[in-house]
Structure 1
Amino acid sequence: MASFADVESEEPEFAARVRAAFDARAHKFLATLRADGSPRISGIEMSFVGGEPWLAGMPASVKFDDLRRDPRFALHSGSAEPDVWSGDAKLSGRAVPVTGDAERAAFAGDAGIAPEHMGFELFRIDLEQVVLVALNAEKTALVISSWRPGQGLTTALR
């Protein structure tokens, strides 16, 4: 598993473009697996805190029940209308519940959140893949860039 800092270290320009895609919109799309194995898509607000992406939200949310049962996820940045589209990004990997007081306190400090307002679910993201999809300069093909730990960045045109 890897952190976003690993992506930034190996591919800083790619990481900056991925982060810009996620920072462009408040609402993202989280894919999880239900208890019966079928997919669930949920809206979520995700932000980078301390340079890393975190998942946080209301307690007793079914998406977080899904992640506690099976930590695999995919998170999509959301998308703009075609005339202003500059690309989409996706993170996939495993979401790890953060329940320890020390790690939650560190998150609160980095996020500027008072400890008494930390009554939400919190998951750290262990990355298995980071993807960026955009158009080439001529706007004639999709450029699909994918980073995986230990494999680096690959790019394909479609």
Structure 2
Amino acid sequence: MSTFADVAAAEPEFADRVRAAFDARRHKVLATLRADGSPRVSGIEMQFVAGEPWLAGMPHSVKFADLRRDPRFALHSGSAEPDEFSADAKLSGRATEVTDPEEWARFAGAAGLEGRPGDFELFRVDLDQVVLVALNEEKTALVVASWHPGSGLTRTERT
């Protein structure tokens, strides 16, 4: 597993484009696994704080209960309408709940949030895949760039 800083160190241009895709929209889509193993998709307002993606939200959300039970997740940046599409991005990996009050306070301070632990739930993420889907320069094909720890960046063009 890796951090987004690992991605940025290895592939800075790719990481910048992934971050831009996530920063383009406030609402993202988080996929988790229910207790019976079926998928659950939920809206989330994920943001990068101190260069890393974090999952934070209202206490007692079922998506966070899912992550405590099974930490695997996928997160999608959302996409613009086809005429305005430039790129979208996906992160997947494992989420770990932040229970340490000092780590929670560091996140809250860096995010410009006030409050105390328990005001919102917080999960740090470890990444096992980062994907960027964009159009080629001619806008005739999709280019899927995928980064994995240990194997780096690959690109596939689909027409």
Class of the TM-score when normalised by the shorter of the 2 chains: over 0.9
Matches within 5 A, 1:8-157: 8-116=8-116, 119-157=119-157
CA distance in 2, matches of 1:2, 1:103: 18
1:114 CA drift (Å): 2.3
Q: Is the 8 A contact 1:27 1:44 kept in 2?
A: yes
The one-letter amino acid of 2:13's match is E
Q: Deviations over 1:6-38 (max 9, x none)?
A: 011000000000000000000000000000000
| TM-score, normalised with respect to structure 2 | 0.97
Shift of 1:144: 0.2
1:138, distance to aligned residue in structure 2 (A): 0.9
Moved more, 10-19 or 103-112: 103-112
Unpaired runs of at least 5, structure 1: none
Deviation at 1:116, TM superposition (A): 3.6
The code of the aligned residue for 1:24 comes to A
TM-score by length of 1: 0.97
Render the CA deviation track for 1:96-143: whole Å, top value 9, x for unaligned: 000101111111121122244861000001000000001111111110
Supply the AA of the counterpart residue of 2:120.
Answer: F
Which runs of structure 1 show a deviation greater than 4 angstroms over 4 or more consecutive aligned residues? none
SS in 1 for 2:63: helix
Contact 2:4 / 2:52 at 8 angstroms: preserved in 1? yes
CA–CA separation in structure 2 for the residues paired with 1:145 and 1:118: 37
- Show structure 2 runs of 5+ residues with no match: none
Contact kept in structure 1, 2:18 and 2:132, CA below 8 Å: yes
Aligned residues: 158
Give the conservation status (yes or no) of the 8 Å contact 1:108–1:118.
no
Question: How much identity, in percent, do the aligned residues show?
Answer: 74
